[in-house]
Structure 1
Amino acid sequence: MTGTDATALEMLGARDLLEALPHATYVCDAHGRIVAYNADAAALLRLSSDGLPPYCPADELVTLSGAPLGREETAVAVALRTRARTPAHSYALVWRDGRRLRVRESARPVLAVDGRLLGAVCVVENLRETAVYEAAKAGGLAQLVGMFVSDMHGELVEVTDEYLRILGYTRDELEQGAFRWDRCTAPEHLMRDHQGIEEALRTGKCRPYEKDYVRKDGSRVPVLIGYALVRPKLNQFIGYVVDLSTRLREYTALNETMRAAETGIWDWDARTGQVIWSDTTKTLLGMSPDYQPHDVHDFLKLLHVDDRDRVSKALDHALVTRTVFRSDFRLRDPEFRDRWLFSQGGVFCDYAGEAVRMSGTLVDISARKQAEQVLRDAIAVRDEFLSVASHELRTPITSILMRAESLLRKLPAPNPDPTAKEPLVAALQLIIRQARKIDSLVGDMLDATRLSHKKLFLEPQDADVVELLTTYFSQLCEHDARARTGLHLELPARVEPPIVAAWDRRRIEQVLDNLVSNAFKYGANQPVTVRLTVPRPGAVCIEVEDHGIGIAPEARDKLFQPFERAHRVGSFSGLGLGLYIAREIVHAHHGSITLVSELGVGTIFRVDLPLVPATS
């Protein structure tokens, strides 16, 4: 770079010149290295005089939608590469501390007399301050609120069409300087405007307040106004105006509709704390129509002491996570102790992503709560009946089973001819089978009742898994003719040392009973296999496989629910409790039960169980 070039670049980056500019501005050389910047750029981009950093000190560049962005795609890089003025580029800067800054950047190259590239001048705008106004100009927010840019003395720099509509003027009249915002303000509200301006100059923004504008035709319109200081050197503000007359008309119509539906509506401004309740909301909360809440704490004070903290946390969580607020609660007033209310609301964010408002509805759900209580009472009565009936039935069934087995043992040896069958022996065997079947059904009802009350207790003991399965297999084959001919047990070829698990042996055998019984029931008289594998250290897998009719995909999700059946009731016997009980027992052992099935091919139930130490 020649001396003349350096002088030109130095003049371009003169501190006084840069500081006079109303925007964050910096100058870089032909390699993109910053050579000068003003105070606004230093504050916005975190620039420091200690070893000039690259033009963008952020650790990451992304588009406003979150997609990664290369530094060669930024406005200044494009200007240096193309040697042409670059239109505004919008993107986000991300620092290591998580701070994000949404900016709009435009750049213009600086060329020497002979056409050589010297560097570029770049202007950066903070979209956090200007996004609301730009969205309004684009037509989004402009149809809802009036937006304006003005100075502190009342001169309007730019306004939206909605702002003109509120005041009753045209854009031509604005350009001719026919009106100013201070001259359109009702005289008694000018002092409030001055207070708002002083607050904005001191803190950067003012709290929204209400005032009256005097329209061109002399009529008045109530508005809600708020503004923030965006160009301190020029004392310029960006603000919004909400036509409260329109809002009040719409609110009244909505309020009447909600009143007819017995639904209350509410609105909470999280920045100012202001709360608005409809008349129906006040009635549901036990307050008079004249009651005016000051903030959200007035609402929380009305809640039952046992529900207050839960609802408060739900509100805070909705604001922090920008999610829907949902909660039911009771009222503190004893006069309404049987009233249950349900409220839900949505969170509204500004263009910077900050949660600023929440609006929602309120309904009386007392009737639903009473119906739920009646249903719970009915279920409790049913469970109590099943429990008592199960206990009462088990006593005579056990006596019948024991007496039949005793008589069968006392009978003389049957005829050696296998084709001949003693009538008495056959009758006793039938009694024993049916009694065991009834005992199993009664046991399932009793277990289902215990599970509904979370009263399934385990008695874990150390057991050899291979010995448990072998003993179960031999006992089942002894009592069940189907098992003697159609049940196969597959064990690992060699188990050294023994696989020891801390299980409730009786409950695990109950799981096997249910799965094997199902396999025989739906197995189409095909063989059933019980298989033990060790998929990983500290766990085993027990599979029960049949080659029967299979289970339809739509029936698999509900198969483990109580009283659910995979096939039409009447086709197969049972209460539909076996798999539900099996799942709960497996879960109580910290295991899982799954199935794989194909129609017409068969089903495999897989039980994965950890080898939990007895002391755990």
Structure 2
Amino acid sequence: MSNSKPIKSLTSVSHETPLTLLETYPGALFFLDEAEKIVYANTSTQTMLGVSPETLVGNSFWCNVPQLVSPSLYLAVQKTKQTRAPTEVEYVSPVTQTWLHVQLSPTVRGILVQFHKMEEPLPSREAFFPDQYHVTDILESMYVGIGFLTTEGILLDINDVPLADAQIQREEVIGKPFAETPWWSSSPTSQHQLRAAIARASRGETVRFETLVHPREGMELYLEAVIIPHKDRHHSVEYLVYVGTDITERKRAEAAIHALIDALPQLVWTGRPDGYVDSYNQRWCDYTGIATEQAQGNGWLQCIHPDDQQHILALWQDAVQNGRPYEAEQRMRQSTTGAYRWFLVRATPFKDTQGTIFKWFGTCTDIHDKKRAEQQLKESRESLRVLAETVPQFVWMVRPDGAYEYRNQRLYDYIGFELEQTPSDWQRSCQFIHPEDRDRTRELWQHALETGAMFEHEERLINAQTGVYRWFLTRALPVRDEAGQIVKWVGTSTDIEEQKRTEAALRASQERVNALMNSSIIGIFVSEDSQIVDVNDTFLRMTGYTRKDLREGGINWMQITPPEYLARTVEAYQELYTRQSMTPYEKEYICKDGSHLPVLVGAILLEHHPNQSIGFVLDNSARKELEQRKDAFISMASHELKTPLTALKMQTQLARRRLERQSLQEAATALEMVEKPVKQLERLVEELLDVSKIQAGKLEYRQEMVDLGVLLREVVETMQQTHSSHTIVVRGTLHSSLMGDRDRLGQVFTNLLSNAIKYSPGAETIEMDLRASEDAVTIRVQDHGLGIPREQCDKIFDRFYRVVGPRQRAIPGLGMGLYIVAEIVKSHGGIITVESDVGKGSTFTVTFPKREDA
């Protein structure tokens, strides 16, 4: 620039230290860190500022050199920090009124700031930003304080009006926290408001508040303060603009108005230009029981009847938005009785000479008795009787000539048109009806007009907001005068979309039920208690009964159940009434011709009819026949195999003894090896025979007194000799006897120990625990082997069931042993259970009831 003096180079002079160069620089020079604190100031600063450089170091630049502070400099510092590029700025110091030229250079750890005084005439508005000059010209004629702040609240500049009020000089406040200046420091409440507002504005929010300040002793001002964040093109806040407007006269006028309002005998309230209701007289507060602070804004809605709130609020917002007088009837709750009374509420906007609303004044007049009289008058009219017979959702009225007279707001909102936009002719308004429904609607409406009969039709109407059609039931009744002439039609349209969907779902459900009931495979029956009240054709075909038998009450599940299945059937129905469902079970039905039909039966309880259940029946005769054939085959095969096996066993033993007598030991040993698989095969055949006998109910048991303690010791000794790979550990002793078959009981524990050894190939011990109580004898056999999955524990006692698993499948067996064990235990009045964890082993527990004389 032409007016700037040349600046010495700080890097090119040889034989001088950098510090010497800085000290000899003719202008004031500062080095600021990233926090804008002074790290270094040269000796020229004392000449310019009148303070020693040492007193400045370590302090905030903005708070300690008010002679240099200005908004222009603040922006230049922020720009240099952001861009990391050299910057120059010229401005007039608001304090000293001297023209300054400043160069700013970014450094590794901060900013180098060089000041130089210049000789220039004082600009007319040098204390403000250029784009603010026209604003201050306008505001000179009224009381407006304008200040510029850093985002931390440091005052960079302020206009003359607040300075004159406080009778202070600009240098007394520039560079100081704005909240600590005389205007604010005298009032802690106002000071707190300002600090909170600065914090919010620094985050990008424009903040408005009203407050009371004391610029000097004896002076009191009400201010309407606004703090506006100024943002750069990256939307970051650069600085804050404070504007404080004197509203003292307005506040005093409002106080006088409020005093007058409190003296009025009506319920009176006032509002701001934006519709914010800010005050109420004492009578309003006494009637509603709501304090002014609780009722401000939209808080007054809490005393309005819930049915009126939405409508009243909409009317009030409309009046505020358009600046029109407000009038509405609403129900307000009286605090002492809790009853609602009708009030006529009026509000008038008051405007200044420019036509700008500066206040709303409202009154509430009790019209409850008048409304009650009007209501009684309406109830006496025929039109109200007709409306009472219709569904008041979408309500409309049509004159005899077909022109619309009225549509309620719900209908307008739904079709998306205002009153003046909708077709006045009923025929043309069919555009809102689904194209497939229009012809039928026109036909029925024309018939109603010609005959005067009630109009009723289901049609689809389009929702303007979503573009989706919904089903409505539309009804219309004619209103007649005393001569019987139709004077208008009153109609309603009721949304039945959900009802239509429900009906469609019911039809679909009924179709599914019909398909199930008409099934040719599954028999379906409905029963009340033990009486069957409805069945499908398949059930009748299965059992041979007829519809006539059903109507005459001749089908009762207790009567068609054979005696041997009656206990299980009663148990199943007890489960049904307890759990609302029945686990499917096998039984037989007695058919009408006396034959027995094997079936699989299940049922559930009907939710809304606790005495009724619906069940299914599957014909199980084919499966039962297959099982009988299988059992017959097994029985026959077992008998046929037993005779040659016995002969083979005897011949093998005889040949081995002869060879031993002839000293042919090697051949005898070979024959002995043949005896093992023969014995295993013999055992399998015996188990098959046992299974066949159990299925046929022919497994015989001897009745003798068995000493369980002795029997168990014999079984353990025998198993220990034949299975040396495992040690059988017995804990406890038994001195109890049981009436039963000694061989069959021995078979139980031999099988359990054999299984324990077989399914614990990696373990070394099998544990048997013997316990007796006053009532029972308990024997536990525990292994530490492969274990059984929990979901399969209930199935292992089933015939031919084997645990599914790659390691279990490798172990030989047909799944008959545990089935036989369970049947033998059951036949002796005992129970057997199992507990198991996969990979940890299994524990089988056998419990027998104890004899009293044992």
TM-score, normalized by length of structure 1?
0.44
TM-score, normalized by length of structure 2?
0.33
Which is higher, the Rg of structure 1 or of structure 2?
2
> Which has the bigger relative contact order, CA under 8 A and spacing at least 6?
1
